[in-house]
Amino acid sequence: MYLSSDAEIICPYCGETLTLFIDYSAGHQSYVEDCHICCRPILIDVDLSDPEQIEVYARPENE
Protein backbone atom coordinates (compact mmCIF):
# COMPACT_ATOMS: atom_id res chain seq x y z
CA MET A 1 0.00 0.00 0.00
CA TYR A 2 1.21 3.49 -0.83
CA LEU A 3 1.60 6.03 1.98
CA SER A 4 0.50 8.96 -0.14
CA SER A 5 -1.21 9.56 -3.44
CA ASP A 6 -3.28 11.98 -5.43
CA ALA A 7 -7.06 11.65 -5.44
CA GLU A 8 -9.54 13.36 -7.73
CA ILE A 9 -12.83 14.65 -6.37
CA ILE A 10 -15.71 16.61 -7.85
CA CYS A 11 -16.61 19.88 -6.11
CA PRO A 12 -20.19 19.47 -4.84
CA TYR A 13 -20.82 23.17 -5.53
CA CYS A 14 -19.36 24.02 -8.95
CA GLY A 15 -18.77 20.53 -10.40
CA GLU A 16 -15.08 21.06 -11.18
CA THR A 17 -12.63 18.18 -10.80
CA LEU A 18 -10.00 18.85 -8.13
CA THR A 19 -6.85 16.89 -7.36
CA LEU A 20 -5.98 16.41 -3.68
CA PHE A 21 -2.81 15.06 -2.10
CA ILE A 22 -3.78 12.35 0.41
CA ASP A 23 -1.38 11.14 3.13
CA TYR A 24 -2.63 7.65 4.00
CA SER A 25 -0.18 7.27 6.89
CA ALA A 26 -2.39 9.66 8.90
CA GLY A 27 -5.19 7.04 9.03
CA HIS A 28 -8.87 7.89 8.62
CA GLN A 29 -9.24 11.59 7.97
CA SER A 30 -12.01 14.19 7.89
CA TYR A 31 -11.07 17.75 7.07
CA VAL A 32 -12.26 20.84 5.18
CA GLU A 33 -10.60 21.86 1.92
CA ASP A 34 -11.66 24.96 -0.03
CA CYS A 35 -12.45 24.45 -3.72
CA HIS A 36 -9.64 25.90 -5.82
CA ILE A 37 -12.21 27.22 -8.31
CA CYS A 38 -15.24 28.55 -6.38
CA CYS A 39 -13.55 28.85 -2.93
CA ARG A 40 -16.42 27.13 -1.09
CA PRO A 41 -15.64 24.71 1.78
CA ILE A 42 -15.75 20.97 0.97
CA LEU A 43 -15.75 18.30 3.68
CA ILE A 44 -13.28 15.57 2.71
CA ASP A 45 -13.50 12.07 4.23
CA VAL A 46 -10.78 9.46 3.63
CA ASP A 47 -11.97 5.91 4.42
CA LEU A 48 -9.18 3.40 5.03
CA SER A 49 -11.35 0.46 6.19
CA ASP A 50 -10.33 -1.59 3.11
CA PRO A 51 -6.59 -1.16 2.38
CA GLU A 52 -7.11 -2.56 -1.12
CA GLN A 53 -9.65 0.13 -2.02
CA ILE A 54 -9.18 3.45 -0.24
CA GLU A 55 -12.17 5.76 -0.66
CA VAL A 56 -12.14 9.57 -0.74
CA TYR A 57 -15.51 11.33 -0.39
CA ALA A 58 -16.36 14.99 -0.94
CA ARG A 59 -19.52 16.70 0.26
CA PRO A 60 -20.72 20.21 1.07
CA GLU A 61 -19.55 21.37 4.48
CA ASN A 62 -23.05 22.17 5.73
CA GLU A 63 -24.71 18.94 4.58
Measured CA to CA in angstroms, residue 20 lies from 10, 35, 46 at distances of: 11, 10, 11
Whether residue 2 is predicted with pLDDT greater than 70 in this model: the reply is: no
pLDDT of residue 43: 97
- Quickly list H helices, the chain: none
pLDDT for position 22: 84
Tens of pLDDT, residue by residue over 5-46, are 888 999 999 999 999 988 877 788 999 999 999 999 999 999
**Mean pLDDT across 49-60:** 85
